Amino acid sequence: MKAIQIYETGGPEVLRLAELPIPQPGPGQVLIRVEAVGVNFIEIYFRKGVYKAQLPLVPGSEAAGTVEELGPGVTGFAAGDLVASASVMGSYAEYALVPAAQLVKVPAGLSPEQAGAAMLQGMTAHYLAYSTFPLKAGDTALVHAAAGGVGLLLTQMAAKLGARVIATVSTEAKAELAREAGASEVILYTEQDFEVEVKRLTAGRGVDVVYDSVGKTTFDQSLNCLRPRGLLALFGASSGPVPPFDLIQLSGKGSLFITRPTLWHHLATRAELEWRAGDVLGWAAKGDLKLRTEHVYPLAEAAQAQSDLADRKTTGKILLEP
């Protein structure tokens, strides 16, 4: 099979197309023929060596595809089922293994591309809106990178729950996407100071929650945008890690701070996976959650896909197609 493999950490050029044997499913595993691969920042972190992994490595964890073979002890799935997961073992490939416990069936009406665009970012948006800070009608949320993959889905979910969403984006084109997703107000951070604008829009009160996937360049001002005892959910670092901070100083601002609520903290059980994935895929199948795929790249162009994501040239989701 064809797969992308990393032999050493570094820039996009270390992503190389390789010919590898098709893996065989072990106990509790399912072999899928990959049809759509989600491209995410976590793969960039592994490629750069920010997150450590044994090399050589086939990157990737999110994919949708068709069941090819079941490992010993697997029940509930059959050859030919269209399935999806955010726990695929090396999804940048034509075939990949998935733990059956982390695999879900794709509902009728969704394509592999739609399912591949929904899992990781959709469930991330779900845990942020429903668990990390459970939004309710009347809450005000600041969503950074609101035209990105998670941002567009999170904005839709927040608006569905009745929350007021203040979105930050870099261009007017992205602002229009955020508005279509349900943002009440949109701030162009390239032209406006988002802290000043948030305080103006909230009459000095601040927001109940900030959902921040940017990190370094937004951290201090995000904290300043919170109401007393508000919550800052830092779930990414696309601009780099946050600077060192003093918890005593943070508490002195009268705000509650939480860092790095990860998806896996909110998928502790099979029931939670079925709840979150079921909601996300079900809403998408019914048209209640709009999925946006920016571009679909051939597997061999994985380096370009990652570069475009890292440079924030995209909106919505980027996919690879083996």
Average pLDDT over residues 21-26: 98
Average pLDDT over residues 147-152: 92
Contact assessment for residue 117 and residue 293, using Cβ atoms and an 8 Å cutoff: yes
Quickly list DSSP for 205-254: S-EEEEEES--TTTHHHHHHTEEEEEEEEE---TT-PPPP--HHHHHHTT
Give the residue, 266 or 23, on which the prediction is more confident.
23
Q: Which two tokens stand for residue 34?
A: 């990959």
Average pLDDT over residues 162-185: 96
Go through 217-247 and write b for each residue having 16 or more CB atoms within 10 A of its CB, e for each that does not.
Answer: ebbebbbbbbbeebbbbbbbbbbeebeeeee
Q: Which two tokens stand for residue 204?
A: 């000095």
Computed on alpha carbons and rounded to an integer, the radius of gyration of the chain in Å comes to 20
Q: Which two tokens stand for residue 85?
A: 């997961």
Mention every residue, 6+ apart, whose C-beta is less than 8 A from residue 162. Answer: 135, 136, 137, 138, 139
Tell me yes or no: is domain 2-119+268-321 CATH 3.40.50.2300. no
Output the pLDDT for position 260. 58
Average pLDDT over residues 259-281: 81
Give the residue, 255 or 81, on which the prediction is more confident.
81
Mention every residue, 6+ apart, whose C-beta is less than 8 A from residue 172. Answer: 188
Output the pLDDT for position 216. 81
Q: Say which range, 18-27, 127-136, 232-241, has the weakest mean pLDDT.
A: 232-241
Q: How far is CA 128 from the centre of its chain?
A: 11
SS3 for 155-175 is HHHHHHCCCEEEEEECCHHHH
Average pLDDT over residues 138-163: 96
Task: Name the average pLDDT for the chain.
Answer: 91
∠ CA 134-182-221, rounded to 5°: 65
By CB neighbour count within 10 A (0-12 exposed, 13-18 middle, 19+ buried), where does 278 fall?
A: middle
Q: How far is CA 311 from CA 101, 124, 256, 263, in A?
A: 34, 21, 31, 24
Output the pLDDT for position 12. 96
Q: How far is CA 43 from the centre of its chain?
A: 12
Output the pLDDT for position 266. 67
**Taking 80 as the threshold, does the pLDDT of residue 76 lie above it?**
yes
Output the pLDDT for position 235. 86
Q: Which CATH architecture has domain 136-260?
A: 3-Layer(aba) Sandwich (3.40)
**Taking 80 as the threshold, does the pLDDT of residue 198 lie above it?**
yes
Give the residue, 62 or 255, on which the prediction is more confident.
62
Mention every residue, 6+ apart, whose C-beta is less than 8 A from residue 189. Answer: 168, 169, 170
Q: Look up residue 316 and give its amino acid.
A: G
DSSP H helical ranges for 231-314: 247-252, 270-286, 302-310
> CA-CA distance, 112 to 106, in Å (whole number)?
8
Would you kindly state where each structural domain of the chain is located, as residue ranges? 2-119+268-321, 136-260
Output the pLDDT for position 217. 82
Grouping H, G, I as helix, E, B as strand and the rest as coil, residue 28 is: coil
Q: 213-248 pLDDT, tens per residue?
A: 887 888 889 989 999 889 999 887 677 777 766 554
The confidence band for 264, taking pLDDT boundaries of 50, 70 and 90, is: low
